[in-house]
Structure 1
Amino acid sequence: MPPTRRRPSGPSPRPGAPKPAKPAKPTKAAKPTAGPKKPKPRGTRPDRAPGTRRKTDPTPKPVQRIKPPRPRRMSARTAILALVLSALALAYAYPVRTYFAQRSDIEALEAAQQSQRERISALETERAKWNDDAYVITQARIHLLLVRPGEKPLIIIDDPAGAAKDSGHPLDQPVEEPGTWYEKLWGSVDGADKAG
């Protein structure tokens, strides 16, 4: 704030008005000297004679208008803090992204390990079955058509003509067998040409 100038007390001088008389200054001889002056501590009031009051100016002083300080949009501390926070955010962005990517990779690998464990346990169960002689004999009969000595094997053959006999269709009618896919395709092209 700029320092304010104090105006002398009394009526303000006007142009053409006589100046008020100034009181005479006391001479040095008139002052009593009681010894060296002691320094006064700060914040104390100046010495005044008891019963005297401060002179007040009866005329109001003109008020000087001061422009209020403009509020700063952003202080230097705020700008530095924002800069530091943005630098920290940028510094931590890549490691955090890497962390989450690694977590998803770890979860996928753990799921793959779990499925492998389940497959291993199923294979161990299958292996334990093959250690049983009854299971081996059953699988040999089903897949290899092996029988014990003295047993008569019964083999069922898929016979379309025999099935036709059993269904009641006469044998003189030929049983239409399905052809290959390209024969069916060519037959449909021929049928379309003949129709068109």
Structure 2
Amino acid sequence: MAAAKKDRDRFSTATRLRLFGEQTAARVYRSQTRRQARRSRLTGRAALLALVLCSLIVALAYPIRQYVAQRADIQEQERKLADARERTEELRDAKARWQDPAYVERQARERLHMQLPGETGFTVLDPDAETRRRTDRGAADRAWYVNLFDGVDKADRSSTDD
């Protein structure tokens, strides 16, 4: 009879619910402790990884900045070298042209108005050029402050004419 009562208690609904609740609570508790353990390990690992990455970034920042600056300087110097080589070539070409007597003669005729013996030179005069030259020379012969006040007077007259 005692065995039958024991079997009844073992299979009763209240007993089964209590056992089921205890088992569920044990599973939940075990899974929570595992998650917490996993989280704490991941958090520590993540912190260590972040520390290592930050250390690497700090350690490499200055050399990388220097490298980039030096590369920029090298490119600037290469550009200057290319410009200098181009200028040198232009000067060599000019020197070679000046070695040619025909080029020298043409430049003398254009720039200095040179004429060979037996040639007749002509000068074309601009009638307005003489008056401009006289007014410019007159202004050059006077003191600077006289020119300044003349300019102010001209500006005043032109503003009152409008």
Q: What's the TM-score, normalizing by structure 1?
A: 0.51
Equivalent position amino acid for 2:154 in 1: G
Aligned match of 1:134 in 97, 102, 124?
Answer: 102
Shift of 1:93: 1.4
Asked if residue 91 in structure 1 is aligned to residue 85 in structure 2, the reply is: no
RMSD after superposition? 3.7
Consecutive unaligned residues of structure 2, counting only runs of 5 or more, are 4-8, 11-15, 140-146
CA distance in 2, matches of 1:96, 1:111: 23
Query: Aligned in 2, Cα 1:151/1:124: closer, same or farther, shift over 3 Å?
Result: same
CA deviation digits over 1:19-57, x for unaligned, max 9? xxxxxxxxxxxxxxxxxxxxxxxxxxxxxxxxxxxxxxx
- Distance in structure 1 (CA, Å) of the matches to 2:93 and 2:152: 47
Choose which of 66, 78, 91 in structure 1 pairs with 2:46. 78
The secondary structure found in structure 2 opposite 1:155 is coil
Residue 117 of structure 1 corresponds to 85
Shift of 1:89: 1.1
- CA-to-partner distance for each residue in 1:96-135, whole Å, 9 max, x for gaps? 1222222222222222222222211111111110000000
Aligned partner of 2:154 in structure 1 is 187
Post-superposition shift, 1:195? 5.6
Equivalenced residues, count: 129
Give 1:184 deviation, angstroms.
Answer: 4.8
- Distance in structure 2 (CA, Å) of the matches to 1:84 and 1:155: 86
Q: Does 1:103 align with 2:71?
A: yes
Counterpart among 127, 140, 146 of residue 159 in structure 1: 127
In structure 1, distance between residues paired with 2:114 and 2:75: 48
Distance 1:161 1:116 in 2: 42
- TM-score when normalising by structure 2: 0.60
In 1: Cα distance, 2:120 partner to 2:61 partner: 77
Percent of matched pairs sharing the same residue: 32
Give 1:160's aligned amino acid.
D
Larger relative contact order (CA 8 Å, sep ≥ 6): 1
Q: Which residue type is aligned with residue 87 of structure 1?
A: S
Counterpart CA distance in 2 for 1:184 and 1:126 is: 44
CA distance in 1, matches of 2:153, 2:82: 50
Structure 1 alignment gaps of length 5 or more: 1-10, 12-57, 163-173
